[in-house]
Chain A
Amino acid sequence: NAGVTQTPKFRVLKTGQSMTLLCAQDMNHEYMYWYRQDPGMGLRLIHYSVGEGTTAKGEVPDGYNVSRLKKQNFLLGLESAAPSQTSVYFCASSQPAGLISSGNTIYFGEGSWLTVV
């Protein structure tokens, strides 16, 4: 019963390097999200997807790209990492809010710690 799985869990990058964070969910959810968490800022939405093949910008999208080629996967890419992208990244998934049977629950992964030096 995996739920939402993020890989990798920890990564140290040098400024200018690129990397991809992978999020996988096994609950057949339509919606997937990427958040970042910084001290004193709460969780802020980077990008999200309302279905396979769709993506949309959230509150803080600059410096990130995403793709959702398969329904169960949502990839977050950093093309040229910057120290300002040092953060904890959370992936989440859910069904549409109006779907009664889903209980309106949003499921979170355990987080990915990224440090850019």
Chain B
Amino acid sequence: AQTVTQSQPEMSVQEAETVTLSCTYDTSESDYYLFWYKQPPSRQMILVIRQEAYKQQNATENRFSVNFQKAAKSFSLKISDSQLGDAAMYFCAYRSSNFGNEKLTFGTGTRLTIIP
């Protein structure tokens, strides 16, 4: 079974600065998908960014980018120019591409605080 580990329960960053959230995972599969989800106090699950394992290029969405290291099984999220609205829980998630086993497995989350 796949596991996802987020070793930073809490992080804080000054507004306008850059912060990196860590995520590692364990799998024996070669093809899979990785995600970062944001969960604000409303508890809504918002997709931030996704990465296909077969793609070597790191995904980027505006101020959000990832550092995907397949051999190291590492998938970190970098948030540039942090804004107050970025304050939330961030979850890293893994999705297998094997038919019938394509459920999302989540890490335990990192609570990000933005300091004005």
Q: Closest CB-CB distance, A16 to chain B, in whole Å?
A: 27
Contact at B95–A43, with CB atoms within 8 Å?
no
Question: What's the interface size class on B, roughly?
Answer: 20 to 34
- B32 (CB) vs chain A CBs: closest residue: A97
Q: Closest CB-CB distance, A27 to chain B, in whole Å?
A: 15
Contact at A42–B96, with CB atoms within 8 Å?
no
Instruction: Find B108's partner among A31, A42, A45, A48 (CB 8 Å cutoff).
Output: A42
Q: Closest CB-CB distance, B41 to chain A, in whole Å?
A: 12
Contact at A108–B109, with CB atoms within 8 Å?
no
Which B residues are CB-close (under 8 A) to A42? 6, 91, 106-109
- B52 (CB) vs chain A CBs: closest residue: A104
Contact at A104–B95, with CB atoms within 8 Å?
yes
* Number of residues from A at the complex interface, CB < 8 A: 27
- A111 to B102 CA separation, bound complex (whole angstroms): 21
Q: Mark A33-44, 1 if CB is under 8 A from B, else 0.
A: 101010011111
Instruction: Find B43's partner among A44, A88, A98 (CB 8 Å cutoff).
Output: A88
User: For the complex, is B116 an interface residue (Cβ under 8 Å from A)?
Assistant: no
Which A residues are CB-close (under 8 A) to B99? 96, 98
Within 8 A of B (CB), among A78-104: 88, 90, 92, 94, 96-98, 104
User: For the complex, is A105 an interface residue (Cβ under 8 Å from B)?
Assistant: yes
Instruction: Find B106's partner among A44, A98, A111 (CB 8 Å cutoff).
Output: A44
Q: Mark B78-116, 1 if CB is under 8 A from A, else 0.
A: 000000000000010001110110111111110000000
Which A residues are CB-close (under 8 A) to B56? none
9 nearest interchain CB pairs? A108-B45, A42-B106, A97-B102, A42-B108, A43-B106, A97-B97, A111-B43, A42-B109, A50-B100
